[in-house]
Structure 1
Amino acid sequence: MNFITIKTILLFSFFSLFSVIVRTQSNEYPIIPVPAELVPQKGSFTLNDKTQLYFQNTMDSSFEEAFYLFREHLKRSTGFDLPKANTNSGKNIIICKLNTNLEKDEAYKLLVSRSKIEIEAKTPIGLFYALQSIRQLLPMEFEQTTLSTSTKWNIPCCVINDAPTFVYRGLHMDVCRHFVSVEEVKKYIDQIAMLKLNTFHWHLTDDQAWRIEIKKYPKLTTVGAYRNRTLQGHNNDYPRVWDNTRTGGFYTQEEIKDVVDYARKRFVTIIPEIEMPGHATAVVASYPELSCSGGPFDVEGRWGVFNDVFCTKDETFSFLEDVLTEVAALFPSPYIHIGGDECPKVRWKRCHACQQRMKDEGLEDEHQLQSYFVKRMETVVHKLGKRIIGWDEILEGGIAPDATVMSWRGIAGGISAAKQGHDVIMTPSEAMYFDFYQSSLHTEPLAIGGYLPIERVYAFNPYVKELEPKDLKHILGVQANTWTEYMPDAQHREMMVFPRVAALAEVGWTSEKNKDFDSFAIRLPKLMKRYDIMGINYSRAFYSVVGTAINDGGLKLKLSTIAPETSIHYTTDGSDPTLSSPIYREPIPVGEKEMVVKAISVKNNKVMYIPYERSFIANKAGGQKVVFENADGVRFEQNGSGNLTDCTMGGRPVSRPDWFSYAGTDGSITIEFEKLTSISKITFSSANQNNVLVYSPKSINFLVSEDGTTFFPVGAVWHQQMAAAKGKAIVSFTPKKVKKIKLEIAMYGIIPNTEPNSGEMSALFVDEIIVE
């Protein structure tokens, strides 16, 4: 009978949530990801120089190899060697047993008692994951690289029965926008393994660099691995600012083999990504004959999507087969990722070879040509004994028969693929893109945009409700993506990945019923202290103060922080808050005068993060009821459109949460005052950044109503006027007492041929409507 007895299982039924366990026991169990079942016990097991290690004789040498890294790490930090025992009897022993009855290969069972530790596993990886749990139960000094002689090496007693929810749990790293050293890659693999993630997605090629040595095509690295300039600042900023330093780097095949072997020992699979048919500038700069136009080209120093892609002539497919043949020999992964995303068709439309290909293959349009490209490459990958993964664009024009889809443009692509019987890895940008901002503070280091605090990562469920049970089997798991355009160095990359990767780990491992953010928030600081010892430059945005404008008897500012045992100190006069400043206890009224609120989070008399700061402008519309109506489209709003009247201007870039965004048909915005209010000026403030599809409206009609029913016009503003005024539309009129204001908005709509991104639907970004 297994060591988890019926009595133990019955005992576990008394504990419905791990968070309850954490709070009610004297022992602490700060394991991330949280185990499927954990039953606390009293007391602890103490490791010392007499502790022995026993392997059941049915275990082969691979189980001992799985124990090796932990054993060496333990010896480094404690000095204990864990000599092998000849018998499993006695005390002060770690016993490893084979349990072939465990349902999943990665499952394990762990019993920690005062006298011994017992581990049951079906496979070496299960044993390895049990050791990662023990690692997090050990004192954090375990992470030291030098001997600690003063630490008592206690492990709290418990019973754990654990297994992952998803078979695929991945972290992606883009090494093309900025080169990432072998040492840094190994550091990510170490952290992936500790948190029981099992896949490292290595994005090796893009417009800005080709990073992997291909012996048959040396120019890919002598030319394609380097660029002569790199964009500084944000991609949306004008005028452009450049760093004209030549930069680059690549991995030799020997280095690739070394990293792959390093990952193998930590049970991490590395999936290489070789981008095609788009994001190919570094390739065609090296071999311009693979393009439609013949070049010449430079390796790109800008970020974005570029028109020069692989041509669909036979020479291209021969080249890619040669490349993938070398790649497949380096990576034992069952998959090769072929990209398939963001491939403009403009060159194909004008290319004789591509148009002839379409005619010969009976293809109706360039989307089907891309599908042909992907399907042809799938045949090559199959011949190499692998399967392909592609971003969700590979669904367009018809998906390759055996392709696995990474759904990044939301969850829709994953839903569609699963319903068609294809395997899916969920990686939607709004929940899984680690290049998004971690806090709403405008003092955060520059990022691409977006807003993804750790609690939003944690809240994602890959088993999306839109899928029926029969289709859920195709959801293999989850992955977070780290695109490095705005992460030029190792310190910055670590700050963007850690500790959000811990939330990712719990999403991938833990069942939805066992997830509890309050419990996670208690365990996370323990992991952060380990990061301190490891020298990882993690973000402390977990401790950031969040401000939310609410309408509660007038506009008020609600301050909060997700970190437990943390207080908030604030000021309202623009001065810097200190430990002596008032403690926040209730929402702060925001009147019709200008005001600057600053706040800090404090724990154990220590300021935990950079100060929150928010400036409020005089605005009669502040906190009033706002309705956005008569529209059919997609919008993002922070607080029921309340960020249109929260008395705060939006920050940069425009995708931050203090902006209201919308793409769709014409609509209207109505502001209703609680009482008749005298006004004489209305300012509508929007963004007009055409290079990223953001356009001020085609026109706005401003209307007012005294009775709330009948409206009268007070002015109109056209797109050209707003564009010239940096997105602002201002109307002034003789003072009027009004009950409602209405803005009738004609959207800019489809972008014309005279503008960048012609044919695309424009988006509207509004940060505030100011009424005076």
Structure 2
Amino acid sequence: MEKHIISNNIFRAICQILILFCPMSELQAQNIIPKPNNIVMGSGQFELNSQTKLYTNLKGQEKLLMDKYLQTLPFHFTTGKAKDKANVIKLLIEPLQTQNQEAYQLSVTPEEVIIKGNAGAGLFYGLQTMTQLGVSHTPSTMNIPCAIVNDEPRFVHRGYMLDVSRHFFDKNFIIKMLDILSFYKINTFHWHLVDTGGWRIQIDKYPKLTELAAYRSFSDLNDWWTDHNRFCKKDSIGAYGGFYTKQDIKEIVAYATAHHINIIPEIDMPGHSRDVLWAYPELACQDKNANNSNELCIGNEKTFRFCEDVLIEIMELFPSKYIHIGGDEANRNIWKDCSLCKKRMEEEHITKVADLQSYFTNRMEKFLAKHGRTMIGWDEILDGDISQNAVVMSWREEVDGGGEALRKGHRVIMSPTSHCYLDYYQDCPYFEPQGLLGYIPLKKVYNFEPMPTGNFDQSLVLGIQGNLWTEHVPTINNAEYKTFPRMQAIAEIGWTQPELKDYDNFRTRALSAMDYLKEKKNLHPFNLRTEIGPRMESLQPCTNLAKGKKVNYLAPYDPSFAGSKEATLTDGWLGDWNGNGDRWQGFVGNMDVVIDMETPTEIQAIGSSFLFVPTGGQYLPDSIEISISNDGKTYKTLKKISVTSDYSILFHIYTFAWAGQEKARYIRYHATKPITWGDILCDEIIIK
């Protein structure tokens, strides 16, 4: 017996030595996402089977949560003891060198798996790494290679937002997603529960919200828009929609809690409220209703009573310290002619109509704070004075990538449209399901750095979040397709230190992860193996006599689509599939530019490309005129083009050009479309 104990001790020591000298390159074969901050692979493996024991020193609520989580696994453990030395997994609360509550240390030898953490969250994440390391031969057995892992997250907020208003996803799908998200150490589920597309949560005090505004006449939003955005009752013919009962919410919150995911509910206000106005029209401004307004009346005290009543029931259901009120994209012009809003402005000494929203936001912030909660809002809440306690979710690049919020001392969650909007196309749009606006491939997501440059307190950057808006995501399969693998990239950005990141290595691991999701979890992720990639024409400079020449703007470009500003149209580069970024330049209905060739130049062709994504407000011009001049005053028209747009086409890049033989110094390209919203987007004026 004594010899056996000695030999086991020697064997364990040898394993530890082998682990310490195993090269890091072996990580590539282990498929762990997010990449651990420190891992050393060893030789040998631990065999998890039906006789494997589990011991933990967890107590109280954390033990209850762990027990609930373990019940969801296919493995069935027998109860172990602290002194067990063989075929045992130990989950131990022990102080680590870091104080991070999500940190863990994982040690795997042939005899035992030991996971240590400062808190239950760390033990949970250690289990996720252990599971990703392992190879399952049957649902209830697994071989786990020997390794030592020391790991902790970079950011405290690693989030995923799902919009269930535009298209509804049932309780089972939400639970399925929570399971997958937690597997990749995502710790926040931002639940966009209400919006213009439908109200999705039971509110006892306002039953009409679900009786009258949880179902609509069409599933497809374009068809619904044609039908004047009519809501209907559940039993109406063709009714589409649904909502979560309070019991549903309680079950989902309990499941999320056991998986160490915090659910942040979003109740959008004061804009995006057509659903509310349909159910309770008295909350609209004077002479407004659900057909011509999306905004609550800020002059009406009933609005505040409604919002506070709803938030009280929301806080009863969700333990999250954060409550999201939206606050984005309100049409502030709605309030300017309302007598109640005018009266509110007079009473509160508000001089600008737009500042009514700041008044509203501040009241909501104070109300939530009184109840021990912290308000989150989209970055529009910065338009005015707001409590520094409010957290800003930064989504608009024109708001300096969160810089304004950081300069004002707000905590910020980085979620820019340029990198984190999962409803955008992730591959060549000609072969993709319908998307919104632009092109955000996996590599672009992965290369995002959420920590802005500048002099500010870096602890204010709470983390990163991927958002799935569902205007064009009608099915579960489509939601899974758009979410993965880009959410794995978000997970790695949020967890792994930037110096350890490498896209090629990540892509290899993502390929294995997609196989796992398809084969083991019955998900429908994007097929990364058949990725087409960027627009070929955008990968190398184009031949252009106008390259580097000055562009005079007779009409301004849209600052929201500035491209590379004055250099955009003659920098020698064509645009990619994405209208955002530095390649495409937008004009709100009137593109009128003159290129100065500096000297009279022989010209054989003048042309330009336009990006057409009508669902994203990126339109073709209706008319184009190409003309030339030698003095910059008198112009000769070379060609007029009338354009008819086919709105059944969801994405296309069109080129409009003149060809001939001329000599001129100045080239004018004038393209127009009478619009009040959206842009015509051009990438380059090509002269040959």
The residue that corresponds to 2:234 in the other structure is none
Deviation of the 1:22 alpha carbon: 3.1
- Report the residue type matching 1:494 in the other structure: E
Aligned counterpart for 1:418 among listed residues 395, 406, 427: 406
Q: Tell me the C-alpha RMSD between the 2 structures.
A: 4.2
The residue that corresponds to 2:194 in the other structure is 205
The residue correspondences of 1:149-160 to structure 2 (distance < 5 A) are 153-160=142-149
Contact 1:498 1:538 in 2 (8 A): yes
CA distance in 1: counterparts of 2:300 and 2:120, whole angstroms: 47
SS at match of 2:268: strand
The residue that corresponds to 1:255 in the other structure is 248
Deviation of the 1:247 alpha carbon: 1.3
Distance 1:242 1:115, change over 3 A: same
Deviation of the 1:672 alpha carbon: 11
**Alignment of 1:187 onto 2:176:** yes
Distance 1:667 1:41, change over 3 A: farther
Contact 1:659 1:765 in 2 (8 A): no
Deviation of the 1:449 alpha carbon: 2.2
- Deviation sequence 1:633-660 (CA, Å, 0-9, x none): 553379x969998899x98xx8489973
Contact 1:233 1:241 in 2 (8 A): no
- Deviation sequence 1:543-586 (CA, Å, 0-9, x none): 3123554699xx89xxxxxxxxxxxxxxxxxxxxxxxxxxxxxx
The residue that corresponds to 2:563 in the other structure is 636
Contact 1:278 1:341 in 2 (8 A): yes
The residue that corresponds to 1:50 in the other structure is 51
**Alignment of 1:334 onto 2:321:** yes
Distance 1:628 1:525, change over 3 A: farther
Distance 1:692 1:521, change over 3 A: closer
Deviation of the 1:407 alpha carbon: 0.3
Contact 1:70 1:131 in 2 (8 A): no
The residue that corresponds to 2:9 in the other structure is none
The residue that corresponds to 2:27 in the other structure is 22
**Alignment of 1:432 onto 2:420:** yes
Deviation of the 1:157 alpha carbon: 1.0
Of residues 243-252 and 623-632 in structure 1, the stretch that sits farther from structure 2 once superposed is 623-632
The residue that corresponds to 1:587 in the other structure is none
Contact 2:263 2:320 in 1 (8 A): yes
Contact 1:66 1:128 in 2 (8 A): no
Aligned counterpart for 1:83 among listed residues 56, 78, 87: 78
CA distance in 1: counterparts of 2:152 and 2:606, whole angstroms: 58
Aligned counterpart for 1:511 among listed residues 467, 477, 497: 497
CA distance in 1: counterparts of 2:215 and 2:206, whole angstroms: 15
Contact 2:167 2:219 in 1 (8 A): no
The residue correspondences of 1:73-472 to structure 2 (distance < 5 A) are 73-74=72-73, 76=74, 81-101=76-96, 102-139=98-135, 147=139, 153-231=142-220, 245-293=238-286, 295-297=288-290, 307-410=294-397, 412=400, 414-465=402-453, 467-468=454-455, 470-472=456-458
Distance 1:344 1:500, change over 3 A: same
The residue that corresponds to 1:756 in the other structure is 676
Deviation of the 1:68 alpha carbon: 3.1
The residue correspondences of 1:551-566 to structure 2 (distance < 5 A) are none
TM-score, normalising length: structure 1: 0.75
TM-score, normalising length: structure 2: 0.83
Distance 1:445 1:331, change over 3 A: same
Contact 1:22 1:519 in 2 (8 A): no
Deviation of the 1:471 alpha carbon: 2.3
SS at match of 1:221: helix
CA distance in 2: counterparts of 1:104 and 1:435, whole angstroms: 33
- Report the residue type matching 2:617 in the other structure: V
The residue that corresponds to 1:765 in the other structure is 681
Distance 1:643 1:137, change over 3 A: farther
Distance 1:671 1:154, change over 3 A: farther
- Report the residue type matching 2:510 in the other structure: L
- Deviation sequence 1:447-471 (CA, Å, 0-9, x none): 1121111111111111112x32x42
The answer for unaligned runs of 5 or more in structure 1 is 301-305, 557-620
Contact 1:623 1:646 in 2 (8 A): no
The structure with the greater share of residues assigned to helix is: 2
Distance 1:471 1:235, change over 3 A: farther
SS at match of 1:636: coil
- Deviation sequence 1:313-332 (CA, Å, 0-9, x none): 11111111111111111100
| Percent identity for Structure 1 against Structure 2 | 32
- Report the residue type matching 2:474 in the other structure: P
- Deviation sequence 1:342-387 (CA, Å, 0-9, x none): 0001220110110111111111212211100000111111122211
Contact 1:626 1:669 in 2 (8 A): no
Distance 1:671 1:247, change over 3 A: farther
CA distance in 2: counterparts of 1:741 and 1:340, whole angstroms: 50
- Report the residue type matching 2:38 in the other structure: E
Deviation of the 1:108 alpha carbon: 0.4
Contact 1:647 1:770 in 2 (8 A): no
The answer for unaligned runs of 5 or more in structure 2 is 1-11, 232-236, 647-653
SS at match of 1:250: coil
The residue that corresponds to 1:607 in the other structure is none
- Deviation sequence 1:713-765 (CA, Å, 0-9, x none): 553678xx6567999865565x24x6x985345687xx9xx8534xxxx7441
CA distance in 1: counterparts of 2:289 and 2:224, whole angstroms: 24
SS at match of 1:442: helix
**Alignment of 1:715 onto 2:637:** yes
- Report the residue type matching 1:254 in the other structure: Q
Distance 1:671 1:319, change over 3 A: same
